[in-house]
C-alpha cells in the first residue's frame, strides 16, 4: 500500500474561479516595468464591471500602459492557498469624482492624496491553487 505524497503542488484553476478568488481578496500588488526595472507596489482593489480598480502609492504619470496585478493567499504552516495574476491595459483614473469615490472607499497606504487610482482591463487572468499531495486529483 502506498501513502499519498505530502509534497506541495500547484494546480491551475479555471478563469471563472480565478476571477472569483480575485474578487474576494482585498490586498494585492501592482507590478509594472519602469526604466528597465520591475516595480512592485502594494494595492487595495475592487472588481467592478469587469474591470479591476486599484488604489496604490504610485505617481499618475508612472502608470504604465500595461500592468500586472497579483493577489495571493498562502498559509505557510500548511503550504496551501492560491495565487491569481491579472494582466491588461492600465490607466490612471483622472475624473475627479470617480477618483474621489475610490479614494474614499479603498483604504490608502499613506495619509493624504498620495495614492493613485488605477483601472486595469484584464485580458489574461491565471490562477493556481497550492495543495498538498493527492488533494484535488
- Domain locations in the chain as residue ranges: 8-132
In tens digits, what is the pLDDT along the chain, a chain of 137 residues?
455 556 778 889 888 899 889 888 889 999 988 888 898 989 999 988 889 999 988 888 888 899 999 999 988 888 789 999 999 999 999 999 998 888 888 887 665 567 889 999 999 999 999 887 655 44
User: What is the CATH code of the structural domain delimited by 8-132?
Assistant: 2.30.110.10
Please check whether residue 7 is in contact with residue 134, taking contact to mean a CB–CB distance below 8 angstroms.
no
Q: What is the pLDDT of residue 125?
A: 92
Q: What is the pLDDT of residue 52?
A: 92
Q: Which residues contact 56 (CB under 8 A, 6 or more apart)?
A: 30, 41, 42, 43, 44, 109, 115, 116, 118
What global pTM score does this model have? 0.83
Cβ-in-10-Å burial (0-12, 13-18, 19+) of 107 comes to exposed
Q: What is the pLDDT of residue 134?
A: 59
Q: What is the pLDDT of residue 127?
A: 93
Amino acid at each position: 500500500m502506498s501513502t499519498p505524497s505530502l509534497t506541495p503542488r500547484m494546480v491551475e484553476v479555471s478563469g471563472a474561479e480565478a476571477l472569483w478568488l480575485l474578487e474576494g481578496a482585498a490586498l494585492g500588488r501592482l507590478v509594472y516595468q519602469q526604466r528597465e526595472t520591475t516595480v512592485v507596489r502594494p494595492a487595495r482593489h475592487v472588481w467592478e464591471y469587469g474591470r479591476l480598480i486599484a488604489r496604490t502609492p504610485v505617481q499618475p504619470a508612472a502608470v504604465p500602459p500595461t500592468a500586472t496585478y497579483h493577489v495571493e493567499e498562502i498559509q505557510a504552516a500548511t503550504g496551501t492557498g492560491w495565487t491569481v495574476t491579472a494582466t491588461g491595459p492600465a490607466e490612471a483614473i483622472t475624473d475627479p469624482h470617480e477618483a474621489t469615490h475610490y479614494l474614499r472607499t479603498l483604504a490608502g497606504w499613506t495619509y493624504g492624496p498620495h495614492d493613485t487610482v488605477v483601472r486595469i482591463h484584464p485580458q489574461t487572468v491565471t490562477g493556481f491553487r497550492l495543495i498538498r499531495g493527492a488533494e484535488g486529483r
